[in-house]
Amino acid sequence: MQKFIIKLVGSYLNVLSYVSADYAANKALHLFSIPRKGKLNESQKRFLNSAKKELLTFEDLDIATYHWKGNKATILLVHGWESNSARWKNKIKRFTNQGFNVVALDAPAHGASGGKLFNALLYSEFINKVSKKHQPEVIIGHSVGGMASVFFQQKYQLASVKKMILLGTPSEFEGLLKSYIKLLGYNKKIKKSLNKIIFKKFGATPSDFSTSKFSKDIETEGLIIHDVKDTVIPYSDAKLINKSLRNSKLITTKGLGHSLNDNAVTENILEFLEK
């Protein structure tokens, strides 16, 4: 049923593109930028309630933050698409048991943060606001959260950040856009107009928004963890980022999927942090 609805939406916008390609592409970009907000279960709510909660703001948008105090280095956790800070529960418990000071944030239009639309550039500004306050030594980003973390550090070069960990992180925004176009079955009119509208809105083409390209300007020590059979973000993206992020190491997993929500990954991270 869901696949049918997706194809129906794509077909509707394709027809609309013959009336106005730009209007159809704007609708397509808007749809691409709207995450589904999942509901927290009771266990997740209890866990997030164990943190000190604080709202920061960026351009009138609330940024929900969660803080678990510790005496060691500050770790900032940056979740991915259609997720929230509760996804870090197991890792946070392990980090706090080791004495780390842990901060997590909800992305734009995710969790308890404000906004209706999401993109990695806006997310990077959320990360900047939180980082200015908490001065993290470590940033851990999952999926597009890793991409936004790289965009943030490339732009602001925050001196406190000594280590970055990228989990299942996409390299090329253009690849994400192509997957979306293929999923919806958009025609060439919409594809062409999407590229034009993105350039007009952000001042750059989709190919310019690249984690691997932005990584070249970052001296921070990096750890990249990616599953070889990740069906969401291809493993080849991890190799591209590893090649560009000069001071980085790539750990390859097998069978952990895109979430990488596994104790072995947490232990890899802790080993990297204790070096």
Cα 189 to its chain centre, rounded Å, is 29
Strands 61-68 and 101-105 turn out to be antiparallel
Q: In whole angstroms, what is the distance from residue 30 CA to residue 109 CA?
A: 13
pLDDT in tens, the chain (275 residues): 556 667 688 888 899 888 899 999 999 999 999 997 777 889 999 999 999 999 999 999 999 999 999 999 999 999 999 999 999 999 999 999 999 999 999 999 999 999 999 999 999 999 999 999 999 999 999 999 999 999 999 999 999 999 999 999 999 999 999 999 998 999 999 999 999 999 999 999 999 999 999 999 999 999 999 999 999 999 999 999 999 999 999 999 999 999 999 999 999 999 999 87
Domain boundaries of the chain, sorted by first residue = 1-32+173-209, 41-172+210-273
Domain 41-172+210-273: CATH architecture, name and number where available: 3-Layer(aba) Sandwich (3.40)
Strands 248-253 and 221-227 turn out to be parallel
User: What percentage of the chain's residues is helix, strand, coil (to nearest 5)?
Assistant: 50, 20, 35
Could you tell me which of 172, 159, 81, 153 has the C-alpha nearest to residue 119? 81
Alpha carbon separation from 39 to 5, 31, 86, 261, 272 (Å, rounded): 22, 20, 11, 19, 33
Q: In whole angstroms, what is the distance from residue 81 CA to residue 171 CA?
A: 15
Q: Are 144 and 87 in contact (CB under 8 A)?
A: no
